[in-house]
């Protein structure tokens, strides 16, 4: 069963549109089924008009500036890099370039020779904590200098995208109003958990969302998404309450927020004309 608004909208009408279909949730690991966060369809879908303003899709990458301050920071960076690479011969490579294995050991020895500086910085930091100041503030007070922050911009990973869809339904007649009521119910039922015994809930369904029509080719794609919230307002902005003969309001506003269940990669963007 396909629910449509407006009633006449379809793939042959020449209009652009948005298709929503509910699916069983599956883990991205694939251990519980198809993977990719999506399972089989639960039946039916909803086809709605293309909003004047479609969701802003923000692709975010999580970069964070970190300090490896002074001798202690340099030593920590060197040791951490060596452990991460599994090659202690790379110790010291961050100080002046990739030394290679033999020179890497020499650089490591240089770090050991700088041990008094590391100890001194640690003592200054301890004193700073006691006095409610930082090591750099104490250094500035005493010597007019501060430790080199040795700032590195480090990549933490991609962020999950979130977005909203907003629709306004102003049915032409009571029959189309009844269809709008079914559409609202479809979204509400499939975005809510189902009771599973007295102590458990089944996970709500997730959503496959696609732009359709000629314009859909040049718009972004969506990954499988979970609905975080659904809001419905009746007769918003009207001077008085008004309904059709069947009692359904003459205007209904729907707002839905979604969050994709997986991150977007460069490969994902490359697979389509406008990417994700």
Its domain, for residue 80, covers: 62-157
134: in domain? yes
Q: How far apart are CA 112 and CA 119, in angstroms?
A: 11
- Identify the pLDDT of residue 33: 47
Report the candidate in 156, 141, 140 with the shortest Cα–Cα distance to residue 70: 140
What global pTM score does this model have? 0.77
- Do 52 and 183 fall within a single domain? yes
- Do 258 and 176 fall within a single domain? yes
- Do 11 and 84 fall within a single domain? no
- Do 202 and 67 fall within a single domain? no
Residue 43 tokens, joined: 């039946």
- Identify the pLDDT of residue 114: 53
Residue 197 · residue 191 · CB < 8 Å: no
Q: What is the mean pLDDT of each run of 10 residues along the chain (276 residues)?
A: 91 86 87 66 94 94 86 66 58 45 45 54 60 68 75 90 97 94 97 93 96 90 96 92 90 97 94 91
Residue 134 tokens, joined: 């930082």
* Of 128, 157, 186, the domain-final residue: 157
276: in domain? no
219: in domain? yes
* Of 132, 157, 182, the domain-final residue: 157
- Do 38 and 73 fall within a single domain? no
- Do 246 and 116 fall within a single domain? no
- Do 51 and 169 fall within a single domain? yes
Residue 46 · residue 169 · CB < 8 Å: no
- Mapping DSSP to helix (H, G, I), strand (E, B) and coil, where does residue 19 land? strand
- Identify the pLDDT of residue 62: 95
147: in domain? yes
- Do 54 and 165 fall within a single domain? yes
- Do 118 and 66 fall within a single domain? yes
Q: How far apart are CA 254 and CA 272, in angstroms?
A: 29
Q: How many domains does the chain have?
A: 2
* Of 118, 137, 157, the domain-final residue: 157
- Identify the pLDDT of residue 54: 94
146: in domain? yes
- Do 131 and 179 fall within a single domain? no
- Do 251 and 131 fall within a single domain? no
> Which residues are 16's β-sheet partners?
none
Q: How far apart are CA 192 and CA 182, in angstroms?
A: 16
275: in domain? no
Residue 167 tokens, joined: 């629709």
- Identify the pLDDT of residue 106: 45
- Do 197 and 262 fall within a single domain? yes
């Amino acid at each position: 069963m396909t629910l449509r608004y407006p009633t006449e909208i379809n793939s042959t009408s020449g209009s652009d549109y948005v298709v929503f279909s509910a699916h069983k949730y599956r883990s991205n690991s694939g251990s519980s089924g198809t993977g990719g966060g999506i399972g089989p369809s639960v039946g039916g879908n909803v086809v709605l008009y293309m909003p004047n303003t479609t969701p802003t899709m923000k692709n975010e990458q999580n970069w964070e500036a970190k300090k490896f301050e002074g001798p202690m920071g340099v030593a920590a960076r060197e040791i951490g890099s060596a452990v991460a690479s599994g090659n202690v011969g790379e110790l010291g490579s961050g100080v002046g370039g990739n030394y290679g294995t033999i020179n890497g050991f020499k650089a490591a020895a240089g770090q050991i020779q700088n041990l008094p500086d590391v100890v001194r910085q640690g003592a200054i930091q301890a004193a700073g904590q006691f006095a409610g100041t930082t090591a750099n503030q104490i250094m500035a007070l005493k010597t007019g200098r501060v430790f080199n922050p040795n700032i590195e911009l480090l990549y933490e990973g991609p962020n999950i995208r979130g977005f909203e869809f907003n629709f306004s339904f102003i049915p032409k007649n009571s029959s189309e109003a009844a269809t709008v009521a079914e559409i609202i119910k479809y979204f509400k039922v499939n975005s809510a958990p189902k009771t599973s015994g007295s102590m458990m809930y089944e996970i709500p369904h997730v959503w496959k969302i696609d732009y359709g029509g000629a314009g859909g080719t040049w718009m972004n794609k969506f990954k499988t998404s979970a609905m975080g919230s659904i809001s419905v307002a009746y007769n918003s902005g009207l001077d008085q309450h008004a309904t059709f003969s069947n009692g359904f309001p003459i205007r209904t506003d729907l707002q839905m927020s979604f969050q994709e269940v997986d991150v977007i990669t460069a490969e994902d963007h490359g697979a389509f004309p406008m990417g994700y």
